[in-house]
Structure 1
Amino acid sequence: MPQTRPLGAQISHMLKDRGVDVIFGIPGVHNQEMYRGIEEAGITHVLARHEQGAGFMADGYARATGKVGVAYVITGPGLCNIMTPMGQAYSDSVPLLVISSCLDETAARRGQLHQMKDQEIAAGTVCDWSETAHTADAAYTLIDRALLEMQSQRQRPKHIQVPIAQLEASVNAAPPTRPVWPDLGSHPHWEDEVADLLRAAKRPLFVFGGGATEADAFAEALDVIYPAEAAVFCTYAGRGIVPADYPLNYGAYLARPESAEIIGQADLVIAVGTSLDEVDLWRDHLGHTAPLVRIDIDPEVFADAQNAEIRIKADAGMFLSALAGKLGQTQRKSDWSAQDVVEQRSRWRNETIVERPGIVPIVDALRAATPPDTMIYSDMTQIAYVAKEVWDMDRPGHWHHPYGFGTLGYATPAAIGGAVARRGQPTMAIIGDYGFHYTMAELGVAVELGLSLPIILWDNGKLKEIEDSMIQAQIAPNAVIAHNPDFCKLAEAFGAKAVAPKSLAEMQDAVRAAFDADGPTLIYITPDITG
């Protein structure tokens, strides 16, 4: 006879069978049955200090691996605490699966521990979908549905809740998984049409987004832009897809207003794997006057204000591979000027220097001290805003930021999740003083796990970006300064290493040492570091 176990344990065994190796979370009396089977199934559990931290760790793990990040949380406050990471994962297309317990009955009984009016609906406001599994078969079906949708559609978070009595009930194991064949597309001749447009174009231009950062798309992109001699912009999430030394690479300056004028000079624009959101453009329209070709796995983007003439639902790698095959390796000459690109990028860099004085030299020094293949997680802080524009990545998918939802406190726990996924490979966090307050308790997790994680803590003593915005809006700045602790002593109290370099050279030495340390290192820097 099949072995029966409590459903809470069977869920862990099912996840292991589906390829899940790590779960982030916090146990409680309402979800303890989910913890019965974790070790037995051979899954590593990472104990967060707060459910928000658990969600960000699962997010960071998912971004680092491309696999689903899984988190276990309790009823009520546990779910509420992880809703911010769920919202962040939704806006940034991250495969995050949150499994929570829920109360068996809420309509006829009030005043229970962790009770909410409607937990399922609350979670559904920040994720792709939220469902309740009232039986074991429903739990198995919903888990497989979530995992399969994350493989075949735009990756977004899902929430599944299971009543406590069901988690405790003894049930049979989940059925074995079955493969799903990839969608090869439904446009048999689109590559011929797009290739013909590219051959005819004198000023073709590509916009690459985070959806084009997978390894196959990265390689194929070069086989398209070089023969076409196309100009390129990338979104912040798309950095690294095109090499920094490609002569017609405008970089990640897409949000600069003047980029609209340059895009308006193109006679063909092809946007690959980008939804062209507000946080990509900071304007309503891309700026194109020529035909726009959109390639995305999510048809929702085809109905936006960009009004693309050609709309292709396809995986970025598949599209670029097919297009490269049609173009061949024949080099052609476009009307773009490499010198114009160099001069324009220099102007934009200078604008950045003027807008946020003193930060660019710090970013340049930090980049010079960072080894190749470093995966970076940043927070909502001015040093990250500058770096996203001026730091050219040497490979795609290695800089992660809370782009859309824009939460504070993301970087530290997300970097912990990334470091768990990338043992032996360099991972780094960049966070501001205020954001560090949000999730600084997770520093204990990095110490507990012995992660060689540099945490660059930028302390300008205030919410400087908000102060600048208030001044620009002619509002007298208020509520932008908070009392900070001695961050180095705080880190040391957790058992982490801490250093406060006084020069850029000292900062670089500290960063190099931190990658080789046997635990996390807080590297505390202020605007005074540039002298």
Structure 2
Amino acid sequence: MLKDRGVDVIFGIPGVHNQEMYRGIEEAGITHVLARHEQGAGFMADGYARATGKPGVAYVITGPGLCNIMTPMGQAYSDSVPMLVISSCLDETAATRGQLHQMKDQEGAARTVCDWSETARTAEAAYALIDRAMDEFWFGPRLPKAVHAPIALLEAPTEKAGAKGLPSVGPAAPDQTALQDLTHWIREARRPLFVFGGGARWMDFVGPSLRRWSAASFMTYAGRGIVMDDDPLCFGALLARPSSADVIGQADLVVAVGTDLSETDLWRNSLGATAKLAVINNNVETLSRLTLSEGNHRLMVHGDCFAAFEFLEEKLADPQQSDWSGDAVADYRRRMRAEIDAERPGIIPVADALKEALPADTMIYSDMTQFAYAAKEIYPMDRPGHWHHPYGFGTLGYALPAAIGGKVGIGDQPCIAILGDYGFQYTVQELAVAVELELTLPIIIWDNGKLGEIEDSMVRAQIAPNAVVQRNPDFCKLAEAYGAAAAAPQDLAAFQHAIKDALKAKGPTIIHVKSDIALQA
């Protein structure tokens, strides 16, 4: 059934409870990737989904397997990633205690970190739930789902699922009346400004239209690359800078496209829109929240962002002038770059060196680490949907398994992982998967010997830093123990050389980078 619905890869770990889910995988022509921990399987499914746009599917066992994948499910939920988790469950739990892998409410536990969680009591119900999930992944919003199947049901004979084609209709078409109003607003605006989020990451065609309308733009971290950084009116991914609120306040029209503008997009309570605000989104909850909290004149456009922008392009074909200044935008970006460099010294030169060393189409997965916090504000993306980060839930240990899943999905396209020295050790065991699959995968470990972000936060809060320094292993020897290659560059030239070598290697390469590398001659 899964193969008929387009599933080519499943990430997971077999166990006695879910072994029946593995019957027929090879005959169906599906690849199974054996993770070393269910958390790793979940992040791999997440990374695969972000890289390919297809749902990431994971298999786990009853109880602890489900609990272990709940962190990736929460990450996928916060970042709107289509993930389908299929788990076994006990046949009954009310009248019996002490069963293997027993928990009080497996279905309810999963429901706390995903869109919905349901238990299938019949084969027909299991088929129907999977089809429901696949349809919702297509129509959106794209959020993780969980389907649980009792062990006895998995072991029982049944008829196979019927064939199912692609949905006959696509995502919801935006309201034409609202779009007509928005067209009028854009035509009248003297300082139009667009904010693009991750929900618009497939829209890599908007730059010419923005230039024709003389519109400025910001992008959330997840939306980077939708507008090129060299666009003269592009403010880049600096939305979370406090001063961006002042810039946005100068706009007489703000159009938010495919973004929730959540706390982790802004790091403040308000976007800063003081005049007209239009929101294009297929999530009614987002539309309601943003149009109630932002702006004086509000317009909700419910539906597919792609279709909405195509409508605007058709109706607004003539060039327009605005009061935005390219020199002012460039000056703002220079000042913010200097501000970021002062906040996190030594990171920007390494990010610049990384950009020079990587091919243009490289897929990047980063973890919760200071290097990523600075780089994702200033790293120039040449296309959208190519830097993936655990934005909302903010889980340590994300990048390595997610990059493995992404690399499995994209094949020969280059892919790298960026982690901190502490976060790497959350999911270090998944390095064995990359070795086993012989994945060409540079893994950059940014080593400052501590939980640097937490230490800085404690100092700002006038708390004596505590429990923020750890003893690290020898990362190069650890790589060798797993069968991976390793490098420990001492300067930026050696760093770039190590990256280029790793992109030609058969198998993963650990690149151990000390946080003071930019200061070395």
What is the letter of the counterpart of residue 311 of structure 1?
Answer: M
Asked if residue 293 in structure 1 is aligned to residue 281 in structure 2, the reply is no
Residues 414-453 of structure 1 show CA distances to partners (whole Å, capped at 9, x for unaligned) of 0000010111110000000110010000000000001000
Q: CA deviation at 1:306?
A: 4.8
1:206 counterpart = 2:194: yes
Contact 1:63 1:94 in 2 (8 A): yes
Distance across 2 between alignment mates of 1:160 and 1:100 = 6
Native 8 Å contact 1:223 1:324 kept in 2: no
Comparing 104-113 and 176-185, the one that deviates more: 176-185
Distance 2:220 2:193 in 1: 14
Deviation at 1:305, TM superposition (A): 4.9
For residues 400-479 of structure 1, the aligned pairs below 5 Å read 400-479=388-467
Partner residue of 1:108 out of 89, 95, 99: 95
- What letter corresponds to residue 238 of structure 1 in structure 2? G
Q: CA offset at residue 184 of structure 1?
A: 4.8
> Quick one: percent identity of the two aligned structures?
64
How far apart are the structure 1 equivalents of 2:464 and 2:291? 37
- Please report the TM-score for the alignment, with normalisation by the length of structure 2: 0.98
Match of 2:31 in 1: 44
Contact 1:191 1:326 in 2 (8 A): no
Deviation at 1:97, TM superposition (A): 0.2
Query: Alignment partner for residue 496 of structure 1, among 459, 484, 488?
Result: 484
Amino acid at match of 1:332: Q
**Equivalent residues of 1:500, 1:525 under 8 A apart:** yes
Cα distance in 1, alignment partners of residues 8 and 74 from structure 2: 24
Of 124, 127, 137, which residue of structure 2 is paired with 1:140? 127
Distance 2:371 2:172 in 1: 41
> What is the 5 A alignment of 1:165-244?
165-178=152-165, 179-185=167-173, 187-214=175-202, 217-219=203-205, 221-244=206-229
Deviation at 1:191, TM superposition (A): 2.7
Q: Which residue of 2 aligns with 1:26?
A: 13
CA change 1:31–1:289 in 2 (3 A) is same
Q: 1:88-99 maps to which residues of 2 (within 5 A)?
A: 88-99=75-86
Moved over 4 A (4+): none
Give the aligned partner of residue 75 of structure 1: 62
Partners of 2:251 and 2:236 lie apart in 1 by: 16
CA shift for structure 1 position 199: 1.1
Aligned position for 1:315: 304
Deviates more, 1:158-167 or 1:193-202: 193-202
CA-CA distance at 1:37 after TM superposition? 1.6
Report if aligned partners of 1:59, 1:69 keep a CA contact under 8 Å in 2.
Answer: yes
Confirm or deny: 8 A CA contact 2:174 2:307 kept in the other structure. no
Equivalent residue number for residue 314 of structure 2: 325
* Aligned partner of residue 170 in structure 1, secondary structure: coil
Unaligned runs of 5+ in 2: none
| Structure 2 counterpart of 1:7 | none
Change (3 A) 1:68 1:205: same
Q: Does 1:372 align with 2:360?
A: yes
Contact 2:447 2:515 in 1 (8 A): yes
Aligned mates of 2:129, 2:82 — CA distance in 1? 15
**In 2: Cα distance, 1:83 partner to 1:472 partner:** 32
Shift of 1:81: 0.4
Read off the aligned partner of 2:89 and give its amino acid letter.
C
**After superposition, what is the alpha-carbon deviation per residue over 1:458-500, rounded to whole angstroms, capped at 9, x for unaligned?**
0100000000000000000000011110011001110000000
| Structure 1 position 367, deviation (Å) | 1.1
Deviations 1:137-164 (A, max 9, x none): 0000000001101110110000000000
Verify: 1:152 aligned to 2:151, yes or no. Answer: no
Write the distance in 1 (CA, Å) between the matches of 2:346 and 2:376: 16
Classify the secondary structure of the residue corresponding to 2:422. helix
**Letter in structure 1 aligned against 2:281:** D
Counterpart-to-counterpart distance in 2, 1:24 and 1:190: 42
What CA distance in whole angstroms lies between the structure 2 residues aligned with 1:482 and 1:171? 54
Q: What are the equivalent positions in structure 2 for 1:323-402 lying under 5 Å apart?
A: 323-328=312-317, 330-402=318-390
2:498 match: 510
Does residue 252 of the first structure (1) align with residue 237 of the second (2)?
A: yes
- 1:246 is paired with a residue whose SS is coil
**Counterparts of 1:357 and 1:528, CA distance in 2:** 9
Residues in 2 aligned to 1:528 and 1:153: alpha-carbon distance in whole angstroms: 44
Distance 1:450 1:75 in 2: 30
**Contact 1:62-1:94 at 8 Å conserved across structures:** yes
Tell me, yes or no, if the aligned pair for 2:174 and 2:308 is still in contact at 8 Å. Answer: no
Is the aligned partner of 1:268 residue 2:253?
Answer: yes
Which consecutive unaligned segments of at least 5 residues does structure 1 have?
A: 1-13
Deviation (angstroms), 1:176: 1.3
Aligned partner of residue 205 in structure 1, secondary structure:
strand
Within 5 A, what are the aligned runs for 1:52-63? 52-63=39-50
Partner-residue secondary structure (3-state), 1:108: coil
Letter in 2 for 1:264: G
Answer with 104-113 or 186-195: which moved more.
186-195
What TM-score results when the alignment is normalised by the length of structure 1?
0.96
Decide which moves more: 444-453 or 178-187. Answer: 178-187
Taking the aligned partners of 1:171 and 1:210, their CA distance within structure 2 comes to: 41
Distance verdict in 2 for CA 1:263–1:255, change over 3 Å: same
SS at match of 1:461: coil
Letter in 2 for 1:303: S
Residue 6 of structure 1 corresponds to none
What SS does the corresponding residue of 2:204 show, helix, strand or coil? helix
Partner Cα distance (1:226, 1:344) in 2:
19
Work out the CA distance in 2 between the residues paired with 1:184 and 1:384. 35
Residues 93 and 186 (structure 1 numbering): CA distance in 2 closer, same or farther, change over 3 Å? closer
Distance across 2 between alignment mates of 1:434 and 1:59: 21
- The alignment partner of 1:218 has SS state of coil
Deviations 1:279-306 (A, max 9, x none): 0000111001111000001111022155
Farther off after superposition, 200-209 or 297-306: 297-306
Q: Could you say what secondary structure the match of 1:194 adopts?
A: helix
Secondary structure, aligned partner of 1:121: helix
Question: CA separation in 1, counterparts of 2:168 and 2:100?
Answer: 41
Separation (CA, whole Å) in 2 of partners of 1:331 and 1:186: 24
> Would you say how many aligned residue pairs link Structure 1 and Structure 2?
514
Partner of 2:3: 16
- Which of these residues, 264, 280, 293, is aligned with residue 265 of structure 2? 280
Aligned CA-pair RMSD:
0.9
Contact (CA 8 Å) 2:115, 2:145: kept in 1 or not?
A: yes
